Amino acid sequence: MNAMTDGKSLKSQLPHPYNQDLSSVLTHFDRRTPFSRQRLANDPVTAAYIAAAMRLVGRHLGPGPERTPVDPRDENSLARPLLSVNGSAIRQTRCEVAAGR
């Protein structure tokens, strides 16, 4: 099996819509040619990172997220770990991509 066929089979294992052509959605890549931008947009690793990021957003901000109050006396003081860019959120995303979740 060559690298192109390998990449296609990896991407086909991702859930919909991440297993589809993402080049029309992911546009502003720093590549010189349209072919290179399209190849990067449809790379299985790119699609896996987007899927993992969407799961994290859904888990922390979507319907029914775990909400931890910072100050028990104030109902609006919620911890927002995903909204602050920190190393643990990035490590969690990398672990999910590596685990295929």
8-53 pLDDT, tens digit per residue, is 688 888 888 888 988 888 888 888 898 888 888 889 999 999 998 8
> What does each C-alpha distance from 75 to 1, 62, 67, 69, 70 come to in angstroms?
56, 18, 10, 7, 9
> What's the total number of domains in the chain?
1
pLDDT the model gives residue 1:
47
48 burial via Cβ count (<10 Å: 0-12, 13-18, 19+): buried
Q: Which domain holds residue 65?
A: 3-99
Put simply, whether the predicted model's pTM sits higher than 0.85 gets the answer: no
> What does each C-alpha distance from 43 to 61, 73, 76, 86 come to in angstroms?
27, 47, 40, 26
- SS3 of 77, please? coil
pLDDT the model gives residue 44:
92
